[in-house]
Amino acid sequence: EFKERLGNMTLLSDPRNKALGNKSFIVKREEYKKETRITLTQDLVEYSDFTKDLIIERQMKLAALATKVWDSNNL
């Protein structure tokens, strides 16, 4: 149910993304630490686990950020 939600997704360079596939969050987090150029991915390093509640919380934060970034008054 939460797998395809925006809050459960992040950006990784292509080689890392393919290598990680469906591995656990703990395994992925170690790779997130190496993705230093992408702030959205670095933010996930702070989590010790990734639950449904955290996915919902992150999705709400990303939605709020998107409305600021893509505000038509700033385009």
pTM assigned to the model: 0.77
* Rg of the chain in Å (alpha carbons): 13
Instruction: Give residue 72's pLDDT band: very low, low, confident or very high (50, 70, 90).
Output: confident
Find, among 3, 4, 20, 8, the residue nearest to 61 by Cα. Answer: 8
Residue 59 has pLDDT above 90, yes or no: yes
Q: What is the separation of C-alpha 56 from the centre of its chain, rounded to a whole number of angstroms?
A: 12
Q: Give 3 or 53, the one with higher predicted confidence.
A: 53
Q: What is the pLDDT of residues 12-44, one digit of tens each?
A: 887 888 888 889 999 999 999 988 888 889 999
